[in-house]
Chain A
Amino acid sequence: MTETEKIMDNLIQELKRGTLVLTVLLNTEESCYGYSLVQLLRDKGVEIEQNTLYPLLRRLEKQNLLESSWDTSENRPRKYYKISAAGREVKEYLKKEWLKNSRVIESMLSPKEKI
């Protein structure tokens, strides 16, 4: 990997990291457990490492943006996460910011580059 490629890789990772919280909040309206969320996000085109997502879920839970509960009815206990009321409020705020930034960046692109 060349130096420029390394820098680009880092910048892309940074860009992705910035959108992670919103991505998770947008996809936890239905209860889901760690691995199912990884799969759900992958199906939607978001590639995320497990050991990045799982600690993030825990952090969001600590910040009261997600609620969790253990399901012990199956052969193996699983921790389920769901967006909380505070999480919904934050999600709406982040969504507005995202749309605003997206519009700003879009306005900077040439007509050919626009999606």
Chain B
Amino acid sequence: MKIIEQYIYAIGQKLPIRGREEVKEELRSLILDEIEAKFGSDPTEDQVKKAIEDFGSPSDVARKYSGDALVVARGYTDIYFMIFWMILVSMVFAFTTVFILDLFTKGLGETTLLKEIGRTLGRIWNGSLSGIGMMTIVFIIISRFFRENRVDLEGDWTSEDLKDISLDEGESRTESIVGIVGLLILLSVVIFFPELISYSESSLEKAGIYLGSTLVMEHFAIYGVFLSLVWIGGIVYHVLMLTSLLKKSLIKMYGLVLDLAGILLVLVMVLDNRLFLLNPEANLPRLMGFRAVFLLVLVISSIEMAATGVKALMKRAEKK
């Protein structure tokens, strides 16, 4: 009967391609069994319709056959949404900052202002879409190859899984070691190999990418001193964390001051026009170059610091 085939077709459209034909074949046999058992071997069309309706809507039947097929596995949902919001907030923050900087440096007219607002919204939309899209693809791949039971600690865990959890919420040993190595590399570049910075800019030009602005190395050398001080402070912080020579609360306070100093320093660098030389041959916006890198560092550090602050406040509120 045509209506049975239509019903099976409608279910089939909602089933995964793999195994679809077999499920359809089985459904056909099951539905015909039901109809025969209920209404005999020669049912009327109304009886067939009734049997089909009793069987359930195509979506409902397909859902039960497909199981709980999730694009992003449940174990990853929290982290997915956390990164989702981080991307969105970063994009809004970054492009709004660029807009504000342009507002003060370019002196936009009324028409240009509206155009720039539109462009900023477009950039936020495009940037978020690309970031979230890329992230979703990564999560789909992870969900596909690392099933939920491999993610969920509740399912299959041993007490060994707990040993890396730090109760005082300080950084782990690994984070501190990575932090020290990273800061040493940065220090070496700024103190011993500052030419690497200019080299990275010129190598981009060789590839046909002309940045909007380039770093004025003579001026950067002054900031290099302050940056080195902050980074040396950072190394001391990580060493203190590793050795626990001071009270954790004191080290945390020291870390907070250091973070704040770093943020202020980068903010001054971003706003200092003498630090950047506009590139006459630029084929990228004027912001693109080390200024954008510093801006990104500024955004990430500020978000991180704000998140730490909110977390501390919430913890205090919970205690009350």
- Interface size (B, Cβ < 8 Å)? 17
Report the minimum CB–CB distance from A74 to chain B (whole Å).
Answer: 10
Instruction: Determine the main DSSP class of A at the interface with B.
Output: helix
Query: Which residues of A have CB within 8 Å of B37?
Result: 35, 39
B61 interface residue (CB < 8 Å to A): yes
| Contact status of A54 and B30, CB under 8 A, knowing A39-B37, A59-B67, A77-B25 | yes
Task: Output the least CB separation between A58 and chain B (Å).
Answer: 7
- Tell me which residues from 46 to 95 in chain B have a Cβ below 8 Å from any Cβ of chain A: 55-56, 60-61, 64-65, 67
From B32, B34, B55, B65, A55 is in contact (CB under 8 Å) with: B65
Partner of B30, one of A35, A39, A49, A59: A35
Interface residues on A, range: 10 to 19
Judge if A51 is at the interface, Cβ distance under 8 Å. Answer: yes
CB pair A51–B23 under 8 Å, yes or no, is: no
B65 contacts A34, CB within 8 Å?
no
A76 within 8 Å of B (CB atoms): yes
Distance in Å from the Cβ of B18 to the closest Cβ of chain A?
12
B56 to A51, Cβ gap below 8 A?
yes
B12 to chain A, nearest CB (A): 14
Looking at the assembled complex, report how far the CB atom of B78 sits from the nearest CB atom of chain A, in whole angstroms. 25
Contact string, A32-73, partner B, CB cutoff 8 A, digits 1/0?
A: 011110010000000001111011001100000000000000
Tell me, rounded to whole Å, the shortest Cβ–Cβ distance linking B36 to chain A.
9
Q: How far is A113 from B32 in the complex, measured between Cα atoms in Å?
A: 44
Q: Could you tell me which residues of chain A, from 1 to 53, have a CB within 8 Å of some CB in chain B?
A: 33-36, 39, 49-52
**A34 and B30 within 8 A (CB):** yes
Choose one: A33, A39, A51; the contact of B64 (CB below 8 Å): A51
> What A residues does B56 contact at CB under 8 A?
49, 51
Nearest 6 pairs of A and B residues by beta carbon:
A35-B33, A55-B64, A51-B56, A34-B30, A55-B65, A51-B61
CB-defined A-B contacts under 8 Å, sample of 19: A33-B29, A34-B30, A39-B37, A50-B30, A50-B34, A51-B56, A51-B60, A54-B26, A54-B27, A54-B30, A54-B64, A55-B64, A55-B65, A55-B67, A58-B26, A76-B32, A77-B25, A77-B29, A79-B26
List chain B positions with a Cβ less than 8 A from chain A.
23, 25-27, 29-30, 32-34, 37, 55-56, 60-61, 64-65, 67
A residues within 8 Å of B by Cβ? 33-36, 39, 49-52, 54-55, 58-59, 76-79
